[in-house]
Structure 1
Amino acid sequence: MIARPLPSSAPAAQGVDATGVEAFLDALDAAPGIRPHSLLILRHGHLVAAGSWAPYTQDRPHLLYSLSKSFTGTAAGLAAAEGLLRLDDPVLAYFPEFADEVTDPRVRGMLLRHVASMASGHVAETMDRARALDPDDLLHGFLRLPPERDPGTVFAYNQPATYTLAAVVQRVTGQSLTDYLRPRLFDPLGIGGAVWHRDRGGRELGFSGLHATCDAVARLGQLYLDRGRWEGRQLLPEEWVAEATRPHIATAGAMSGGDWDLGYGLQFWMSRHGFRGDGAYGQFCLVLPEQDAVVALTSETVGMQTVLDLVWAHLLPAFHPGPLGGREGADAALRERLAHLTLPAAAGKPTPPERADAWAGAVFAPEGGGCADQPGLTSVSVTAEEDGWTLTLTEDGHALPLHLGDGGWAVAEEPLPTAVSGGWTDAGTLAVDVAFLETPHSLCVTCSLPGRTFTARWHTTPLMPGVPLRKLRAPGSSS
């Protein structure tokens, strides 16, 4: 389906100082280690700023990592409204096939609200331990793992807890999360193309794996800002919104500090200002009730607190209580800048003419016999084509050809969505950046002609262990 455009407005008409938004963009550009991908800002229900940094675009789905949890929580809220589940039911009530096997009193006392609020009683992430107990069924492994504390008394950021919540929704609805949400959330909000990764058993992950646009993130934030209403319809009960966005469990000391110390709701974090959904490497849905605003951002960074600090420092002061007069010039300047955002391309020059023959057909092996950051990458080759050069990464027998442009970013959709920049840094060294456009990941590959070796280094390492490069895209696409 084609998403209906969000209502748009000049920033000043909604009380937003465009120079403050530009200051935020300046700060993102200046901050080391932050690669923004897409940004949307809504104020009073109107889109006042939207842009994507080339080679990324607004219409491309993006791996949201743990921001997926907020969509899973929304699915649970919709199922609760339909009478299909209750937060105060024991988790085991939904999986009677395990009732005789699971005898630990803490697991038997674990309620749905406990897994929804990351308060299962476990004191640390259980993913590896649950998988060890049952490699084929994460839910079964999780239910076999006794909590160290009583449920509801301690916070631990815990992927199998959300997986369990998602499994309950899929059990009681008889549908995948995506199919259940399509007529109830995605279609009413005008969200198209949202797709979820599944595990080997066929369940959508829930805790991660959702690919959706930054626009979809903004629409979810606006739904919560408006207490579950969208275009005059109450899509999500107001009571669920209130319950999901209040602190259920203290988080201080359990995470990395800063905005992660302020409590957890039902698949939403509390923030210094408002509440948020977020995902690894800089995926954000910031809901600011006091400012009547939503900020949606996709990016690639390990400095997530830095991003939040920049929002608080630059965007919050840009929100004013009423319309701003005489700001047409600032609004136009911001609009122009947002239309031409670009990530810096990797430095590089065309191949030195005197070494072109040496580079043509050259094959490179991993430096030192192995590549720690990408162990599946077994060789790299460089070939001359009529229209330039092709760098081919080979992994487990699968070849990924990448065209090198003449400067800037060379974007390709097949065999998977990528953008490549870089070139020769000297006669014997080729260095390229490979952005996997439907994820927050990019890879730096450097080939050395004298030794016929290469290195490969992630800017942000994929969180799915052993995922092959060809799978770094939205599920359901060709590969």
Structure 2
Amino acid sequence: MMTALPRVRPEEVGIPPSAILRFMEDMTDKNMNLHSFMLLRHGKVAAEGYYFPFHKDLRHPIFSVSKSLTSAAVGIAIGEGRISLDDKVIHFFPDKQPENVHPYTASMTIRHLLSMQTVHRKSTNKEARDIVFEYLHTPPSHPPGTVFAYDTTGTHTLCAILQRVTGTTVHDYLDARLFQPLGMQDIEWETCPLGINLGGSGAYCTTEDLAKFGQLYLQDGVWNGTRILPEGWVEQSTSKVVDNSSAGILLEGRSGYGYQFWRARRQAYCAFGAGGQFVLVSPHHDAVFVSTANTMLNRDEHQGILDSVWTHLISSMQEPCPFDVAGYDRMKQRLSALKLHLPKGSSFSHAAAQVSGHPYRLSANEPGWTDCQFTFSDQACELIFIHETGRSRVVCSMNDWHIGPDPFFGLPSACCAVWADSSTCLIHIQLLEQQQMFILTCRFDRDGLVLQIKPAGALKTNHLDLVLIGTPINKP
């Protein structure tokens, strides 16, 4: 049964509306590509924001937050006596073992998988049909328990272990034990070709689902008086197990790593997924913050979200908190008007009339486009790519978001265009059901067109990361 978290005015839980306003303003000032956020204190929603066209019912990819779901499943399975932390990984896969198991691989345990202290320097082959087979056959580089190395295929191996001992997928295993008791909506979770949930990624859920998951951990694994996670598992899995100073990403000062959870400042911890998917739990403040976003254009941009949370939200929590009627009204108005970050620019340029409707012959390119054509009006921009077998197009609103298919995958997207200067048109495309965006920088002059396409996201887009040279095609 789906049940919503209770909603309150932020002052009722010790948060000034002005703090939430400052957080939103800071996200705007940083040009942060935030999709949604939710702030809980004392188990109640103090604020939630959805950046149009994203909305509260949308299931968003959460990437490596999936690892924390897997961690919860491991804890439950331990509580049911199905597995233990010191079980050898190789024990569960007699059919996938190499003929001669390396001693390092033979001594690797579930505990090592959970804490990213496996025998590999990085993930093994994530594209393999049988990921676990490849994992066990990849030569190890060091003994388990000696090196912190982020290893998504290790988390997938945890899912494979759970599926073997429970006889069902981790998704279905958690559905009755965690998802349904918390009233989490229909969780989607991708599987590998063998039907095993990906474990290290692949889950989709709503913003409120993430908040409920964080609140469960804040409540030590208890929900409505019922214990969901085994007693002691929250503390054990979110405490610092290993130093992560060698981590290749910047996240909360590399404060340590637990069992598929990252340590944070002020004794907090978080589940983290690429691109700004966060579940931040601060027991000291009895608070949970969650976000969905796409910060993949810059590797460590996600940290800017948490920095703003600590600076503007958590630091402002106080008891008691006086009611601020005017501030609350401004906060509500701002929340109701949130939109995806728009690039700065104008809706008009004299160049629009000069280039509109005129085709350009494109330089050779991997996608195989031969020509392109722009059509501008006061309210919209249309870009068409022409290739031997047909054409693809994108329609953008000028200085606003238009909902329609993107030109590369044909998936639902938000598309906008602005003139950054008199000769440069910027086109931003954000896919709505996949973690992917594109920035098209279109520079026009008398000699033709230079069109840069910059992808940022999780889809395979290397062939689209390019610069095209367009030569005007003379009219007959």
With the shorter chain as reference, the TM-score category is 0.7 to 0.9
Structure 1 gaps of 5+ residues are 470-479
Structure 1 CA distance for aligned equivalents of residues 78 and 390 of structure 2 = 45
> Judging changes above 3 Å, is the alpha-carbon distance between structure 1 residues 364 and 164 closer, same or farther for their aligned structure 2 residues?
farther
Amino acid at match of 2:76: L
8 Å CA contact retained: 2:361, 2:370: yes
Please tell me the root mean square deviation across aligned C-alpha atoms, in Å: 3.1
- Number of residue-to-residue matches in the alignment: 453
User: Aligned residue for 1:476?
Assistant: none
Match of 2:309 among 294, 299, 311: 311
Residues 1:160 and 2:153 aligned together: yes
- Give, as a single letter, the amino acid of the residue that structure 2 aligns with 1:410: H
CA deviation after TM superposition for structure 1 residue 14, in Å: 0.7
Post-superposition Cα deviations, 1:227-267, rounded to whole Å, max 9, x if no partner, equal 11112221222322222111111112333456252111111
Partner of 2:471: none
How far 1:60 sits from its partner (Å)? 1.4
- Alignment of structure 1 residues 138-177 onto 2, 5 Å: 138-177=131-170
* Alignment pair present for 1:215 and 2:208: yes
- Aligned partner of 1:437 among 402, 422, 432: 432
Residues 120/300 of structure 1: CA separation in 2 closer, same or farther (3 Å cut): same
- Asked whether the equivalents of residues 154 and 250 of structure 1 are also in contact (C-alpha less than 8 Å), the reply is no
- Distance, in Å, in 2 between the alignment partners of 1:377 and 1:202 is 35
Question: Which amino acid in 1 is paired with 2:86?
Answer: D
Task: Evaluate the alpha carbon distance shift between residue 313 and residue 452 of structure 1 in structure 2; reply closer, same or farther with a 3 A threshold.
Answer: closer
Secondary structure in 2 matching 1:65: coil
Cα deviation digits, residues 259-289 of structure 1 (max 9, x gap) = 2521111110111131000111211110000
In the other structure, the counterpart of 1:85 is: 83
| C-alpha distance in structure 2 between counterparts of 1:84 and 1:251, whole Å | 29
Post-superposition offset of 1:426 = 7.3
Q: Deviations over 1:197-219 (max 9, x none)?
A: 33344332111122222211111
| Deviation, structure 1 residue 143 | 1.0
Q: Cα deviation per residue 1:160-200 (whole Å; 9 max; x = unaligned)?
A: 11111122122223333322222222222222232123334
Among 61, 64, 67, the residue aligned to 1:66: 64
Summarize the alignment of residues 440-479 of structure 1 with structure 2, pairs less than 5 Å apart. Answer: 440-447=435-442, 451=448, 454-458=451-455, 460-462=456-458, 464=460
Q: Aligned runs of 1:40-189 on 2, under 5 Å?
A: 40-99=38-97, 101-122=99-120, 124-127=121-124, 130=125, 135-189=128-182
Distance 1:377 1:70, change over 3 A: farther
Query: For 2:394, which of 395, 399, 402 is the aligned residue?
Result: 402
TM-score, scaled relative to structure 2? 0.85
Displacement of 1:429 in angstroms is: 5.6
**After alignment, is 109-118 or 21-30 more displaced?**
21-30
Structure 1 residue 52: deviation in Å?
A: 1.2
Gapped regions of structure 2 (runs ≥ 5): 466-476
Structure 2 CA distance for aligned equivalents of residues 108 and 204 of structure 1: 24
Shift of 1:64: 1.4
Distance 1:168 1:409, change over 3 A: same
Spell out, residue by residue over 1:424-455, the C-alpha distance to the aligned partner (whole angstroms, 9 max, x if none): 66787653110112344310124466536632
Counting only pairs closer than 5 Å after superposition, residues 373-388 of structure 1 correspond to structure 2 as 376=367, 378=369, 381-382=372-373
Corresponding residue number in structure 2 for 1:391: 383
Contact 2:349/2:423, CA 8 A, preserved across alignment: no
8 A Cα contact 1:255 1:261, kept in partner: no
CA–CA distance in 1 between the matches of 2:463 and 2:188?
A: 18
Partner residue in 2 for 1:349: 347
Map residues 17-56 of structure 1 onto 2, 5 A cutoff.
17-32=16-31, 34-56=32-54
AA in 1 matched with 2:166: T
Task: Compare relative contact order (CA 8 Å, sep 6+) and give the higher one, 1 or 2.
Answer: 1
What secondary structure, in the 3-state scheme, does the structure 2 residue paired with 1:433 have?
Answer: strand
SS at match of 2:39: strand
- For the 8 Å contact 2:241–2:256, the answer to whether it is kept is yes
Query: 1:259-338 maps to which residues of 2 (within 5 A)?
Result: 259-273=252-266, 274-301=268-295, 302=298, 303-320=301-318, 322-338=319-335
Q: Tell me if the contact between 1:66 and 1:280 (Cα under 8 Å) persists in the aligned partners.
A: yes
Q: Which residue of 1 aligns with 2:403?
A: 411
SS in 2 for 1:97: coil
CA distance in 2, matches of 1:214, 1:35: 15
Superimposed CA distance per residue, residues 55-92 of structure 1 (whole angstroms, 9 cap, x where no aligned partner): 32222122212122111212222222333322211111
Mapped partners of 1:176, 1:398: distance in 2: 42
Partner Cα separation in structure 2 for residue 434 and residue 253 of structure 1: 34
Name 2:245's counterpart in structure 1: 252
Change (3 A) 1:97 1:55: same
CA drift of 1:350 comes to 5.8
